[in-house]
């Protein structure tokens, strides 16, 4: 009878401990929880996370053999990919990579240096990207933050121009509470700061749907276009761009990209000043 009472008390303590853990663990482990979409994890959004969330992934997104057969193949990563086997990806035929450096003016990727330098050592031409939050601070402020934390450029033939990632607001209204004219001014502010500091305009990453809804202005004469569409064709391009430089065409099992040109042209993109 005594043994039974002890067992019951032990069971009760275990049950209480389990209950406490179940109530507290989600808050402590939310950043690593596989059940919580990356697009909903505050402060760290990977490229395209909001486009996938709002626009979905087309039925042919995983049938990419035709796309992969032309152009120069690349990829983009963030802290969500952690340690990347760059040598394996290089052996698989990928030659350029973009790495997330910053978001807004408060987030810097803890894996940026390892991924950025690791890709370079493996032979990749690599660059950095910034996830924009236009409602948090000015474009120039975020371009400076990006530039100060890995987003710089040099005409060495191995460094791609920085990228400003313009997509759906992870925290609220689609266009960050801005009119099209205000959004155009924000992007121009970011772009002009970057150009004045590095003598190179940043590329703009976006989707046609978001851009036409929130900006609908032309940057085609200054900024290279990186368009996101997870399908077997690139589709209609955003307003007034007649040509895309990079196309993010798949997110499985990681983000896959295609440079719209030859290897010689890719090297020129990483060398020529604007």
* Blockwise average pLDDT, block size 10, the chain, 274 residues: 41 41 33 38 77 74 61 96 97 97 96 98 98 98 98 98 96 96 98 98 98 97 96 93 96 92 98 96
What distance in Å separates the CA atoms of residue 266 and residue 274, rounded to the nearest whole number?
A: 15
Domain 49-269, classified CATH 1.10.760.10, yes or no: no
Alpha helices in 202-271 (DSSP H): 208-214, 263-269
| Domain residue spans of the chain | 2-31, 49-269
Question: Would you say 128 and 105 are in contact if contact means Cβ atoms under 8 Å apart?
Answer: no
What distance in Å separates the CA atoms of residue 128 and residue 116, rounded to the nearest whole number?
A: 8
pLDDT (tens digit per residue) in 225-262:
999 998 889 999 999 999 999 999 998 888 999 999 99
Please provide the DSSP assignment of 8-75 as one string: HHHHHHHHHHHHHHHHHHHHHHGGG-TTS-GGGSTT---TTHHHHHHH---TTTT--HHHHTSSEEEE
- Interacting residues of 245 by C-beta distance below 8 A, sequence separation 6+: 203, 224, 225, 226, 259, 260, 261, 269
Strand, helix or coil for residue 161: coil
pLDDT at residue 66, as a whole number: 65
pLDDT at residue 26, as a whole number: 32
pLDDT (tens digit per residue) in 13-36:
434 444 333 333 333 223 333 333
Which residues are part of the catalytic machinery? 76, 165, 167
Inter-CA distances, 145 with 137, 219, 225, Å:
11, 22, 22
pLDDT at residue 13, as a whole number: 44
pLDDT at residue 64, as a whole number: 62
């Amino acid at each position: 009878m005594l043994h039974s009472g002890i067992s019951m008390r032990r069971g009760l303590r275990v049950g209480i401990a389990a209950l406490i853990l179940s109530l507290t663990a989600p808050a402590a482990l939310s950043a690593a929880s596989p059940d919580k979409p990356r697009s909903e994890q505050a402060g760290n959004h990977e490229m395209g996370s909001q486009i996938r969330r709002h626009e979905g992934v087309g039925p042919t997104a995983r049938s990419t053999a035709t796309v992969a057969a032309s152009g120069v193949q690349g990829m983009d990563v963030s802290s969500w990919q952690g340690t990347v086997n760059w040598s394996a990806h290089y052996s698989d035929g990928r030659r350029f990579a973009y790495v997330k450096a910053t978001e807004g003016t408060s987030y810097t990727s803890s894996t940026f240096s390892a991924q950025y330098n690791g890709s370079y050592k493996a032979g990749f031409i690599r660059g950095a990207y910034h996830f924009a939050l236009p409602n948090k601070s000015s474009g120039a402020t975020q371009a400076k933050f990006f530039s100060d934390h890995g987003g710089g450029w040099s005409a060495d033939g191995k460094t791609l121009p920085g990228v400003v990632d313009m997509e759906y607001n992870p925290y609220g209204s689609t266009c960050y509470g801005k009119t099209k004219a205000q959004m155009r001014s924000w992007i121009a502010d970011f772009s002009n700061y970057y150009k004045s500091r590095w003598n190179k305009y940043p590329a703009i990453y976006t989707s046609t749907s978001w851009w036409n809804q929130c900006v609908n202005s032309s940057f085609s004469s200054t900024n290279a276009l990186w368009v996101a569409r997870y399908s077997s064709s690139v589709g209609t391009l955003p307003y007034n761009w007649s040509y895309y430089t990079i196309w993010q065409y798949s997110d499985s099992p990681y983000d896959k990209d295609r440079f719209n040109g030859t290897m010689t042209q890719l090297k020129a993109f990483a060398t020529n000043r604007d």
